[in-house]
Structure 1
Amino acid sequence: MFLLLASTAAAALQPAEAPAPVTTPAAPALSPISAGAAANQAGEIVVTARRRVENVQDVPIAVSVVSGLALEQTGSYNINRLQQLQPTLQFFSTNPRNSSINIRGLGAPLGLTNDGIEQGVGIYIDQVYYNRVAASTLDFVDVEQVEVLRGPQGTLYGKNTVAGAINITTRAPSFEPEARAEVSIGNYNFKQGKASVSGPLSDTLAARISVAATDRAGTIRNVVTSQRVNSQDNLGLRGTLLWKPTERLNIFLAGDYNVQDPVCCAQIYVRYGPTQRAANRQYPALVAAYNAANPTRPYRVPSTDAFDRLTDLDAPLAARNEHGGASLRAEWDVGGGTVTSVSAYRYWDWDPSNDRDFTGLAVNPKVNNPTDQKQYTQEFRYAISSKRFDLVAGAFGFHQTIRTRGIQTYGRDASLWLLAPSSALSRNPAVLDGLQADNDIRLNNTSAAVFGKLTWRVTDRLSIAPGIRVNYDKKRGQYDSVVTGTASNGVRQRVTFASTDPWIVAQRGVQAPQFFRANFSDWNLSYDLNLSYKVADDVLAYATYARSFKSGGVNLNGVPNDAAGVPQTQVATVDPEKVDHFELGLKTQFWDRRATLNLTGYWTDVHDYQAIVNDGSTSVLRGYLANAKKARTRGVEADFSVRPNERVNAYLNGAYTDATYEDFKNAPCPPELSGGTIAGAGQTPGAAGVPGALSPAVCDISGQWLPGVSKWSLSYGAEVNLPTSFLTGEGGQFYLGWDGSYRTKFSSNASRSIYTDIAGYSVNNLRAGFRNADGLNVYGWVRNIFDKDYYEVLATTPGNTGLIAGQPADPRTYGVTLAARF
């Protein structure tokens, strides 16, 4: 059962270079670009995954590498685009705050943002850990390369992560003057500019300043406001100083500022999927009742085909996402090794505005959660190498404060939409109009760890590498939701559980007040053991076992109340995930290193998997976390690239991922099995999707897919070039490149639903242009060349009305890019 063949490895893309991780020693400076990482002078792709510079083919870790040049050439200017080059990387985002990154199906529950939990995939930029996944939606700024490490990380550096890490390295200041510039224009008024300049300020001091800006109109038209929504409006600035007082000491001081301020984010009408709620409380009947009550302003969704890309949201949309910070990194060669210190401060400000009823009716015109975060990190490492031993040992400290001041309001149409039609109150707009919840959510999060990794080269071919990490986590959280509404006498007052006023009773059934504090603290021990054997000069086999933990946390989205309105604080904290991970890998090169084939197989058991649960006790779909007893992901991955000559290269990366809930007997039910009266003892729940049928209290979803994971996924591409003396005499090329990705069906709901499976799809991109050895590159590009219609996310909406909303992916886009190096 544990016979796993294969997956992962090194690259999917090669240096200034081409669609494939090629390490051919003779790789020319002008080799095509598409899927590779930066190579050193010997043509090797080098990484720092083990905190030293190594040829990626010598690293017994499942790691893929994408160079900055490959990111630029393929238009992969953020992590959302990067996933099309990395089959085991999944990225989902309905707005920057509500985003998740998974590797091999693990990372964070799809569709839930909860301040009190950790991410399972670590994001590092220049060795600085970024705690909030919202940073992943920002544009890359002056990136040298991106390493995607798969499987548990934490015995080498930084924060403990159970799924993997994305390690981004930006270009360092240069003591030789240099500059880069790039301008792109395209349809949907796409405009993008990038520039960087670097050079010496003195014999020992160099600087680099970089900027990237992207602007694009939205792909969805709001018929109410005549705006194009889901637009892009991004700006990134980065500056770095390198002080090199001696050959043995490098000190980097870096600062960055990043802001997104688009008209965003809209999820639009996709379909009606019947639930077990009473028929008169589901979407078709509610619209009919609304139209009967409002004959002068009847409601009709602008289109029942989401790919008409129309919406009628009547609330302002905004998604201002601001990140910034500073870091100080020192690298000092001393005592035969290198001491590294990384000190960093980061902040995150999130200021949204959205419409959470997903319609043009005034039901939930505001469900906004502005958030301020500050984080401080400090890391010390000592790395030393000898003929037989390599050692990395270090300590990591992290402190974070989060303050969210949320607001949720209800409009004039909420009474009809959310109250039982049998109640006369449902026909009185004043009952819920103006109902408001003001939420104050706070978290203090502290983590500290010591870690170490030893590599013992027993022979020139056999290495044994044990690692260990001792980790302490402490979280203190507070959730305070104050609800105010209008009583039947017209007086504005707080909504409480003590009140018997019929209007207040109805209001707290829709939006209940709540206050609680919760604390979590825990120690854990992570460890791993890696064995690697050089079967031949260009063949490396390895095996890994890792025991890892994902920190427990605090539910800060609210928890269920009991009948008396008392918060059920027994579910206010979540246990840590405990991970057992097994992996076998093979890294090979052949045909005089023109071809690379890397294979990895893995099996990961997760006990106390942190899963999303929905509280069906209110009309508002409230998500919180609980522990499923066990989940599992296993799979096989393969990365292949080939460069038969300087004119042609290609790559094909594939992954088979089998990610399931192994034991989750008390899971939330999908929409088609919810919304009705809960079946009592001796009663049998009704059929799925039958209005008025009895609903099960919980569902056993053991054996179901984890959300967001396709069984099969591929990325592929090729590039050919033709030498020319056009414009430059010698050293020019015309080139044509193709890159594509494919994934099979996946679930877009925590409990798999017949309404929210997203069909498999492929996306193909084309580019063609001219470049020369002096750094000039002019090319045209088309993304989604066949204009494939597909969804990035499908989601249920509040109230079990059967309304399914979704986020259509980008249609065909095209444009032209001019890039130059000086």
Structure 2
Amino acid sequence: MNQSKRRQKFLRRSAAALLVASGTVAGSGMSQAQTTAPATNEAANAEPTTVVVTARRREESLQDVPVSVTAYSAEQLSKTAVPDIIGLVQSLPNTTMKASRATNSTLTAFIRGVGQQDPLAGFEAGVGIYLDDVYIARPQGAVADIYDVERIEVLRGPQGTLYGRNTIGGAVKYVTRKLRPETDVRLKATVGTYGQTDAVLTASTPVSDTVRVGASLAKFKRNGYGKNLLTGAENYDKDVAAARLSAEFTPTSSLFIRLSADTSQDDSSPKNGHRLTVGNASKAPVLDNVFDTRANLTTALGHLQQVKQTGASALVEWQINNELTLKSITASRRDTSYAPIDFDSLPTVDLEAPAVYKNRQFSQELQLSYSGKTIQGVAGVYYIDANAYNKFDTLLNGALPLSVYTMGDVDTKAWAVFADGSMSLTDTVSVSAGGRYTSDTRQAAVLRQLYLGTKGSPELGNPGAVLFRTDTNLSKADLDRTDTKFTPRLSLNWKANADNNVYASWSQGFKGGGFDPRMNVVGTKISLAKAKSGYEPEEIETVELGLKSQFDKGRIMTNAALFFSNYKNVQIPGSVAVDTDGDGKDDNFAGVTTNAGKARIRGFELEATARITDAFRLSGMFSYIDAKYTQFIVAGVDVASQKVFQNTPKQSANLTASYDWPLSMIGKNGTLSLISSYSYRGATNQFETPNALLDQDAYSLWDASLVWTSTDKRLRAGLHSKNLSNTRYKVAGYLFPTLGLEGSTTAFYGNPRTVSATVEYRF
């Protein structure tokens, strides 16, 4: 049977299995989130669990909330050994989350075709990442290892009327655990293939009746999946340390205060890509192992690869009365990255970029929520003051060897007023409406200079460099724009009966415009007026129809959604090779950000869980998306028919089965669980222009876990294998085939087969 037929057969079987499990085509996003946990396994099997989420800034049953949301509890994440949010993608509809090219911890995220791949200063994320309601403005360090969480929620579609920062594509929410009223100490240790050794220690204790303190310490370490054949260093290794401190105060029964701080440091080796082509000049062959490299760039500004971030926040929640609650969220975050990026992945200096990123942000949010018998809602104001700064050299070999120094310094000051409320019209029908007014101000300074030779610029360690030309020199007085927008949302919800919830919603999303921090004014001959205007804001309008159902007293639950979006002024950033002297050969590059005009997106999502017996459970997901540009103007010509949506596979599916056996071990009663998961992702384009070398064909992954949990939940031991079939699949890449003497077309790959053993103990 050929590969295409196998894919089609898997899709048919997956869809059929979900339909059999659900008994209907229904769903919008579901999983085991915060639940009303029974005392024993027997009780858990006897009664259905209630999945509780805070997607609308208040606790609601997942089956009642008229929003496309998937939630994962700490229990579920523990049993399946999900290491970070990238590991959630296999079971998430229409979602791509991955480490950005050449990085270990910078996040690239797309939901329903909307996202942002470029991590440089000035490019706003299309998918918002939240840590306890604090918006994380930059993607550096956002691929955080999962520890000390109560649950993770993933919301699909525009978010703005309920959240501080407007996010046009969706939101990922980390919700950390509140401290317990008694002393609580937990230890988790993992060992695995490739020398994996992880440890997480979490402890909390009450200091008095009104004060509790807690801390978590974590270390994640692993050898590389490959080697640097030139230096002997690891490639695709991991070396991350993280810590979190928190203190909670309840001076009165109506006042809750939480102070928290977190830090992480990633000292992993530089991640270098796999060359897909033979070197143009050296004829260096393509390596057999896709995780090996011959890259020679090891430092940036004298620093080894490193990503360090810190953050602090203060939450004050005052329950004014039984219906009104006032909440204040104050937060500050900083991060610094040293990133030696070797595009050519060869021993020679041909196309390389030692880079430094620095980000800081301060945000303040005030929320007033109301919870009455027929009316519930939230209103708030939000402010963020953020700076994103990067500088890098592009060391480019060719007829005229150059070091291209680029500096981008971008300030963002934004404020918003938002509100969202729902009202019960009858016992079964409710309506909700919301709106948001956003003002986004962005100022940028961009400096781009060309120095002779490939030893770098004065700013990155070569004080004797000779200046050849200045391509761009624009200050924050030159690059200054403010974008404003009102974005509404309407939703109608009909509780047809106790087991079926139907909703329809209409919403708009918005992401402000900005300036390309790599712009090449001279090299691309753009006018000063065009450079100063920058690129335009994105806008999206989404209609969604959803059905959430349960059958047989909750033993079967399904969530389904149909969505239709009109997407305008899509921001497309990127670097392109340019011929600056007209000799027919590319000798330089330029950052070019365009607005792609118009696109339409439509799709379907189905999630289902079925408790076949008290011991046997099935869950699954199937999603389909058709995303198409309808207008994409390049040099006055509409090339929409030649363009595709990046990081947006048309189909994705997952089928997970688990079976439990009662089993006593080491003198303790417990349960042994076998969990097996099979997932499928359709063909994926890395960029808007298809490329046969870089684009990834459809592929499947198979994971399995064998986990024993004591009845009192104090001890858990597991054996986990990811990517059992050892599938090789591309997740990102660089495409510069005409730059340098060697040409650079490199790809980055998802993790190979791994096996790990975990032990968790709660003292």
Tell me the TM-score normalized by structure 1: 0.82
State the percentage of identical aligned residues: 25
Matches for 1:224-303 after TM superposition, within 5 Å:
224-271=230-277, 283-284=279-280, 286-287=281-282, 300-301=284-285, 303=286
Structure 1 unaligned spans of 5+: 16-22, 34-38, 273-282, 289-299, 420-430, 498-511, 668-696
In structure 2, what is the Cα distance between the partners aligned to 1:559 and 1:30?
A: 63
1:428 alignment counterpart: none
Query: Alpha carbons of 1:449 and 1:513: their partners in 2 closer, same or farther (altered >3 Å)?
Result: closer
Preserved contact between residue 104 and residue 268 of structure 2 (Cα < 8 Å): no
Which residue number in structure 2 is paired with residue 184 of structure 1? 190
State the 1:100 CA deviation: 1.6
Q: What SS is found at the alignment partner of 1:271?
A: coil
Could you say which residue in structure 2 is the equivalent of 1:665?
A: 633
Tell me which residue corresponds to 2:143.
137
Which residue does the alignment assign to 1:724? 663
Which one of the candidate residues 390, 415, 424 is aligned to 1:404? 390
Q: Give 1:624's aligned amino acid.
A: V
> In the alignment, what sits opposite 2:298?
316
Instruction: After TM superposition, give the deviation of residue 637 of structure 1 in Å.
Output: 0.2
Report the CA distance between 1:557 and its aligned residue.
Answer: 1.8
Deviates more, 1:715-724 or 1:524-533: 715-724
Counterpart in 1 of 2:568? 607
Alpha-carbon contact 2:107-2:141 (below 8 Å) kept? no
Pair 1:380 & 2:387 matched: no
CA, structure 1 residues 73+724, in 2 after alignment: closer, same or farther (shift >3 Å)? closer
Alignment deviations for residues 158-178 of structure 1 (CA, whole Å, 9 cap, x no partner): 101111101110111111111
> 1:466 corresponds to which residue?
433
Paired position in structure 1 for 2:460: none
Whether 1:351 and 2:338 are equivalent positions in the alignment is yes
| 1:627 corresponds to 2:613 | no
Letter in 1 for 2:561: T
1:102 aligns with 2:110: yes
Q: Compute the displacement of 1:358 (Å).
A: 2.6
SS of the residue 2:86 aligns to: helix
Alignment-derived partner of residue 780 in structure 1: 719
- SS of the residue corresponding to residue 369 of structure 1 reads strand
| Structure 1 position 560, deviation (Å) | 4.3
Question: 1:41-60, aligned counterparts within 5 Å?
Answer: 43-60=49-66
1:808 maps onto 2:746 in alignment? no
- TM-fit CA distance, 1:475: 0.4
Query: Aligned letter for 2:295?
Result: L
Partner of 1:440: 407
For 1:387-426, what aligned pairs fall within 5 Å after superposition?
387-410=373-396, 414=397, 418-419=398-399
TM-score of the superposed pair, with normalisation by structure 2: 0.88
SS of the residue aligned with 1:354?
A: strand
Cα 1:623/1:570, change in 2 over 3 Å: closer
Matched, 1:219 2:225: yes
Amino acid at match of 1:63: V
- Identify unmatched segments of 5+ residues in structure 2: 1-23, 455-463, 580-586
- For residue 17 of structure 2, what is the aligned residue in structure 1? none
Contact 1:621-1:799 within 8 A present in 2 as well: no
Per the TM alignment, residue 372 of structure 1 is displaced from its structure 2 partner at its CA by 1.5
Aligned position for 2:674? 736
**Cα distance in 2 for residues equivalent to 1:521 and 1:702:** 32
Structure 1 outlier segments of 4+, above 6 Å = 563-566
Where does residue 371 of structure 1 map in the other structure? 357
Secondary structure of 1:133's counterpart equals coil
Secondary structure of 1:82's counterpart equals helix
Q: Secondary structure at the match of 1:52?
A: coil
Q: CA deviation at 1:105?
A: 1.3
Question: Using a 3 Å threshold, how does the CA distance of structure 1 residues 374 and 26 change in structure 2: closer, same or farther?
Answer: closer
Deviates more, 1:147-156 or 1:744-753: 744-753
Cα distance, 1:319 vs. partner? Answer: 3.4
What is the CA deviation profile of residues 262-308 of structure 1, one whole-angstrom value per residue up to 9, with x for unaligned ones? 00211111236xxxxxxxxxx54x336xxxxxxxxxxx23x44453x
2:458 equivalent in structure 1: none
Shift of the 631–31 alpha-carbon distance from structure 1 to 2, 3 Å rule, reads farther
CA contact (8 A) 2:183 2:206 kept: yes
Is residue 207 of structure 1 aligned with residue 213 of structure 2? yes
Is the CA contact 2:723–2:753 (under 8 Å) kept in the aligned structure 1?
yes
Matched, 1:12 2:7: no
Aligned-pair CA distance for 1:368: 2.2
Change (3 A) 1:617 1:486: closer
Give SS of 2:305's match: strand
Is 1:73 equivalent to 2:79 in the alignment?
yes
CA distance in 2 between counterparts of 1:42 and 1:766 reads 25
In 2, Cα distance between the equivalents of 1:819 and 1:744? Answer: 36
CA-CA distance at 1:587 after TM superposition: 0.3
Q: Contact 1:724/1:734 (CA < 8 Å) preserved in 2?
A: yes
Residue aligned with 2:296, SS = coil
Post-superposition shift, 1:518? Answer: 1.2
**Match for residue 499 of structure 2?**
538
User: 1:101-153: per-residue Cα shift (whole Å, max 9, x none)?
Assistant: 11111021x3x233112111111111111011223212123111000000111
Distance, in Å, in 1 between the alignment partners of 2:561 and 2:263 is 38
Alignment partners' CA distance in 1, 2:524 and 2:710? 72
SS in 2 for 1:645: coil
Corresponding residue to 1:167 among 170, 173, 183: 173
- Distance in 1 separating the partners of 2:525 and 2:367: 53
Q: Aligned-pair distance for 1:629?
A: 0.8
Larger Rg: 1
Deviation at 1:407, TM superposition (A): 2.6
> 2:275, 2:745 within 8 Å by CA — same for their partners in 1?
yes
The aligned counterpart of 1:295 is none
Deviation at 1:698, TM superposition (A): 6.8
SS in structure 2 of the partner of residue 84 of structure 1: helix
1:494 aligns with 2:467: yes
| Contact in 2 for aligned 1:207/1:241 (Cα 8 Å) | yes
Using the TM superposition, give the Cα deviation of residue 571 of structure 1 relative to its aligned residue in structure 2, in angstroms: 7.0
Partner of 1:708: 647
The 1:184/1:547 distance shift into structure 2, 3 A limit, reads same
Q: Measure the CA separation in 1 of the matches of 2:167 and 2:524.
A: 39
Match of 2:7 in 1: none
CA 554–803 in structure 1, closer or farther in 2 if over 3 Å, else same: closer
2:225 partner letter = T
Contact 1:222 1:228 in 2 (8 A): yes
Q: Tell me the SS of whatever aligns to 2:724.
A: coil
Contact 1:543-1:583 at 8 Å conserved across structures: yes
Change (3 A) 1:721 1:601: same
Give 3-state SS (helix, strand or coil) of 1:218's partner.
coil
What count of residue pairs does the alignment treat as equivalent? 711
| Residues 575/29 of structure 1: CA separation in 2 closer, same or farther (3 Å cut) | farther
Aligned counterpart, 1:677? none
Match of 1:644 among 577, 601, 612: 612
Cα distance, 1:472 vs structure 2 = 0.3
Contact 2:392 2:407 in 1 (8 A): yes
- For the residues of structure 2 that align with 1:47 and 1:217, how far apart are their CA atoms? 37
Cα RMSD (Å):
2.6
Alpha-carbon distance, 1:77 to partner:
2.1
